[in-house]
Structure 1
Amino acid sequence: MPIRITGMNSGLDTESIITALTSSKQTKLDNFKGDQKKLTWKQDKWKELNKKVVSFYNGALSSMRFSTAYTKKTTTASNANAVSVVTGENAMDAVQNLSITSLAKASYMSGKEVKAGTEKAKLSTELSEITGFTAGDINFTVGGESKSITVEDGDTISDVLSKLKEEAGDKINFNFDESTGRFFAAGKETGTAANISFEDSDAAAALGLSTATIQNGSKAKIILNDEEYESDSNTFQINGLTITANEEAQNITLTTKQDTSGIYDNIKKLIKEYNDIMKEFATLYNADKATKYKMLTSDEKDAMSDKEVEEWEDKIKAGLLSGDETIGTIRTALRDIMASSFEVTMKDGSTQNYSLASLGIATGSYFSTEENEREMLHIDGDPDDDSTSGNTDLLKAAISNDPAMVQDLFTQLSRSLYSKLSDLMKGTEYSSAFTIYEDKLMASQYSAYNTKISDAQTALEAAQDKYYKKFSKMETALSKINSSSSSLSGFFGGGG
């Protein structure tokens, strides 16, 4: 922008005058900038809200559509110190007898002392110094697999150690302890895969290897229902159970049955995530409208502290989705499904209509509940809910008495909710897939503001230039008048 110097002859504050004359265009520009900023904040609000809805959709709601969310099972052991059991979803309800006859062990080798004369060998000791050493091959096996290294007089104990490690592979560890002057080896895992043995030779004997004390690794053995099983580790995978043996023991009773507490916990999780979303919807929908607070101009921000600006803008952000039609539609749709009844099959084969209220799951009292929490559901007897913890727990009673019926109800409910959210998040001309708001439309609106702001900026600068040119002409005319007046004054003064 050019440097404008005005008012030198007229004495007028032309900057202020022109600012006043173009104020409507400046206001228009400020409004466009403010509206675009407000749109950015609104997009951020929607992105955050959409993330929570999609998380609910893909998480608890999705899993509760399938029977696997309800068929949680658990296995208890009469001797919990001797065995631990992880129960898979395919495990059978059963009472079984288990005996642990042996635990898996890892192989271990303790070499004999290696002498260099009268001293214990060190890592730096050359093999030519070792008592009785003769260069040659050292043959050994690891897990039945033949191995071989060649050792020479110029090698050191450290060289031998490196060769053993490299040849042995990843099944066994080798070490040389200078304090005892011995080679040691240990299987990295339990079982027989790392069992080690050395062939007798002068080289192996001199290094204390062929005469080493060896504890072979062994498999774990259990007897389950009179059938014996072996494993290289202490863990067995049998018919849906992961059984880990911890100590030898006899006649352990394993009892596998449905874990009704797991069903309850999954339902509670679903309700909690639903409540969190409904409270978020209500908070945004019921907030004071953002239109109550105008966007601040740069000049207004300059006159305020940073904290004051932040507090003012937070009020605007909080109300950007107040009364939003999309939020209203989603809230109503989800609330209606949660209040619906579904035909379920009872354990006696009959069918009945059941709703969440039938299981003691309902909203709180309208007048005693905060406005933004009136659509949240409470489970009677829930120890974590102060408002209903003292009520009879109908949900737990139903799960205990007829878990299949409860599964039927919540499977239908979850599928209905999932289907409705799928419809609400379908991609359209104005929105992307898995999006509850018109993100494409808002992106287009943002781009449109760029054009409006550019045009308004151009219009403002054009108006300013027009007025500056007019005032410049006036100043030029005044300058000529002042110059002529000065000349005449000089003329008459000289004639006196």
Structure 2
Amino acid sequence: MPIRITGMNSGLDTESIITALTSSKQTKLDNFKGDQKKLTWKQDKWKELNKKVVSFYNGALSSMRFSTAYTKKTTTASNSSAVSVVTGENAMDAVQTLSITSLAKASYMSGKEVKAGTEKAKLSTELGDIDGFDGDEITFTVGGESKSISVSSGDTIADVLSRLKEEAGDKLNFNFDESTGRFFVAGKETGTSANFSFDTSEAAAALGLSTGTVQPGSKASITLNGEKYESDSNTFQINGLTITANEEAQNITLTTKQDTSGIYDNIKKLVKEYNDIMKEFSTLYNADKATKYKMLTDDEKDAMSDKEVEEWENKIKSGLLSGDDTIGTIRTALRDIVASSFEVTLKDGTKQKYSLASLGISTGSYFSTEENDRDLLHIDGDPDDESTSGNTDLLKAAISNDPSMVQDLFTQLSRSMYTKLSDLMKGTQYSSAFTIYEDKLMASQYSAYNTKISDAQSALEAAQDKYYKKFSKMETALSKINSSSGSLSGFFGGGS
């Protein structure tokens, strides 16, 4: 903006006059800037809410559409110290008998003492000083594979140890204990696959490797329901069960059955996520519109403290989605599904209509519940819900008595809710896919404000320039008059 010097001849406060004359255009510019800022805040609110809805959609709601969310099973063992069991989805409900005959062991060798004269060998001892050393190679076999390292009289035991470790790779562990003067070797894996042996060369013999005491690796052996199984590890995968043997034991009873607590926990998780979303919807929808709080101009912000500005703007932000039609539509749709009845198949094969209320899941009393909590579901007997913890737990009773019926009900409810949200989040001309609000339209509106702000800025500057030119002409005319007046005064003054 050009520097303007005005009022020097007239004595007028032309800045204030022109500001007053162009105030309507300044107000228009301020309004556009404020509206664009408010739109930005609204976009941020929607993005945050949309993220929560999509998380619910892809989380518990999605998984609860399928039977795998309900086929939780658990296996207990009569001797839990001897065996641990992980139960897979395909495991059968059954009582089985297990005996653990032997555990898998890794191969292990304690080498013979290595002597250098009358002293025990150390890591720093050179091979040439070791009793009986001769040869230039040590060969060993592990898991049926032959490996070898080169050695010489100038090498130290530390050199040999390093080469053995490198050559063995992920098959064997090597160590040399200076306190006993011996090599120790152990298989890295249990079973027979890592069994090893050393050749009978003089080098290997001098280092106590081919003459050491070897305990070969062995397989684990169990008998399940009369059938024998072996494994190189202590873990067995049998018919949906992952059985890990911890100690030898006989006649262990394994009982596999439906994990009703797991079903209950999944339903409780779904209810919690639903409640979180509905609470958010209600809070935003029922918020005070705060219409008395208009957007602040830069001048107004300058006249307030930072805290005052923050509090003012938060009042506006909190009410941006108050009474929003989109939120209202989603809330109503989800509430209608939750209140619906679904035809389910009972364990005796008959069909009957059930609702969440039939299982003791319902909202609180309308008049005794806070406005933003009226959509929230409560599970009777839930120990974490003080409002219903004292009620009879119908849900747990239903899961215990007829888990398939409960699964049928929640599968239908979840699918219905999932489908509804899918429809509400479909991409359109104004919104992207998986978006509940018109993000494309709002982005277009933001761009339109850029044009409006630019045009309003130009109009304000044009109006200001017009008035400055007029006042400049006036100042120029007054300057000439003052100059002429001064000349006449000088003329008459000079003749006196």
TM class by shorter-chain length?
over 0.9
CA distance, structure 2, for counterparts of residue 220 and residue 311 of structure 1: 70
1:272 corresponds in structure 2 to: 272
1:292/1:112 Cα in 2 relative to 1: closer, same or farther (>3 Å)? farther
Match of 1:107, SS state, is strand
Letter in 2 for 1:144: G
1:392-403 equivalence runs, <5 A: 392-403=392-403
1:47 corresponds in structure 2 to: 47
1:281-430 equivalence runs, <5 A: 281-430=281-430
Match of 1:28, SS state, is helix
1:462/1:181 Cα in 2 relative to 1: closer, same or farther (>3 Å)? farther
1:127-276 equivalence runs, <5 A: 127-276=127-276
Deviates more, 1:485-494 or 1:155-164: 155-164
Contact 1:73 1:259 in 2 (8 A): yes
Post-superposition offset of 1:32: 1.1
Contact 1:360 1:395 in 2 (8 A): yes
Letter in 1 for 2:100: I
Post-superposition offset of 1:63: 1.0
1:448/1:179 Cα in 2 relative to 1: closer, same or farther (>3 Å)? farther
Letter in 1 for 2:90: N
Deviates more, 1:238-247 or 1:149-158: 149-158
CA distance, structure 1, for counterparts of residue 203 and residue 318 of structure 2: 83
Letter in 2 for 1:478: L
CA distance, structure 2, for counterparts of residue 435 and residue 271 of structure 1: 22
Output the aligned Cα RMSD: 1.4
Q: TM-score by structure 1 length? A: 0.97
Post-superposition offset of 1:178: 3.4
Contact 1:177 1:184 in 2 (8 A): yes
Post-superposition offset of 1:154: 2.5
CA distance, structure 1, for counterparts of residue 165 and residue 262 of structure 2: 49
Letter in 2 for 1:437: Y
Letter in 1 for 2:123: L
Letter in 2 for 1:178: E
CA distance, structure 2, for counterparts of residue 493 and residue 109 of structure 1: 129
Q: TM-score by structure 2 length? A: 0.97
CA distance, structure 2, for counterparts of residue 348 and residue 490 of structure 1: 123
Contact 2:133 2:206 in 1 (8 A): yes
Identical columns (%): 89
CA distance, structure 2, for counterparts of residue 12 and residue 227 of structure 1: 110
Match of 1:291, SS state, is coil
Post-superposition offset of 1:290: 4.5
Post-superposition offset of 1:187: 2.0
1:9/1:120 Cα in 2 relative to 1: closer, same or farther (>3 Å)? farther
1:381/1:493 Cα in 2 relative to 1: closer, same or farther (>3 Å)? same
Letter in 2 for 1:461: E
Contact 1:113 1:180 in 2 (8 A): yes
1:15 corresponds in structure 2 to: 15
1:478 corresponds in structure 2 to: 478
Deviates more, 1:229-238 or 1:166-175: 166-175
Deviations 1:154-181 (A, max 9, x none): 2222221222122212111222333433
Deviations 1:404-462 (A, max 9, x none): 11111111111111110110010101111111111111111111111111111111111
Letter in 2 for 1:300: E
CA distance, structure 2, for counterparts of residue 456 and residue 119 of structure 1: 98
CA distance, structure 2, for counterparts of residue 305 and residue 218 of structure 1: 78
CA distance, structure 1, for counterparts of residue 18 and residue 98 of structure 2: 96
Deviates more, 1:371-380 or 1:140-149: 140-149
1:490 corresponds in structure 2 to: 490
Match of 1:122, SS state, is coil
Letter in 2 for 1:436: I
Match of 2:190, SS state, is coil
1:83 corresponds in structure 2 to: 83
CA distance, structure 2, for counterparts of residue 362 and residue 86 of structure 1: 35
CA distance, structure 2, for counterparts of residue 371 and residue 144 of structure 1: 75
Contact 2:96 2:225 in 1 (8 A): yes
2:56 corresponds in structure 1 to: 56
CA distance, structure 2, for counterparts of residue 181 and residue 477 of structure 1: 114
Deviations 1:80-133 (A, max 9, x none): 111111111100000000011111222222222323333333333332222221
Match of 1:188, SS state, is strand
Deviates more, 1:204-213 or 1:81-90: 204-213
CA distance, structure 2, for counterparts of residue 34 and residue 189 of structure 1: 70
1:486/1:66 Cα in 2 relative to 1: closer, same or farther (>3 Å)? same
CA distance, structure 1, for counterparts of residue 196 and residue 245 of structure 2: 25
Deviates more, 1:95-104 or 1:302-311: 302-311
Contact 1:139 1:146 in 2 (8 A): yes
1:435 corresponds in structure 2 to: 435
CA distance, structure 2, for counterparts of residue 78 and residue 57 of structure 1: 41
Post-superposition offset of 1:214: 2.3
CA distance, structure 2, for counterparts of residue 177 and residue 477 of structure 1: 109
CA distance, structure 1, for counterparts of residue 395 and residue 141 of structure 2: 62
Contact 2:127 2:153 in 1 (8 A): yes
Deviations 1:178-228 (A, max 9, x none): 343332222222222222211111101111211222222222111111111
Letter in 1 for 2:30: D
CA distance, structure 2, for counterparts of residue 290 and residue 32 of structure 1: 19
Letter in 2 for 1:394: L
Contact 1:171 1:193 in 2 (8 A): no
CA distance, structure 2, for counterparts of residue 15 and residue 126 of structure 1: 98
1:92 corresponds in structure 2 to: 92
Deviates more, 1:198-207 or 1:188-197: 188-197
Number of aligned residue pairs: 496
Contact 2:425 2:435 in 1 (8 A): yes
Contact 2:74 2:257 in 1 (8 A): yes
Contact 1:97 1:251 in 2 (8 A): yes
1:38 corresponds in structure 2 to: 38
Deviations 1:222-278 (A, max 9, x none): 111111111222111110011111111110000001111111111111111111100
Letter in 2 for 1:132: G
Contact 2:135 2:201 in 1 (8 A): no
Match of 2:106, SS state, is coil
Letter in 2 for 1:472: S
Post-superposition offset of 1:31: 1.1
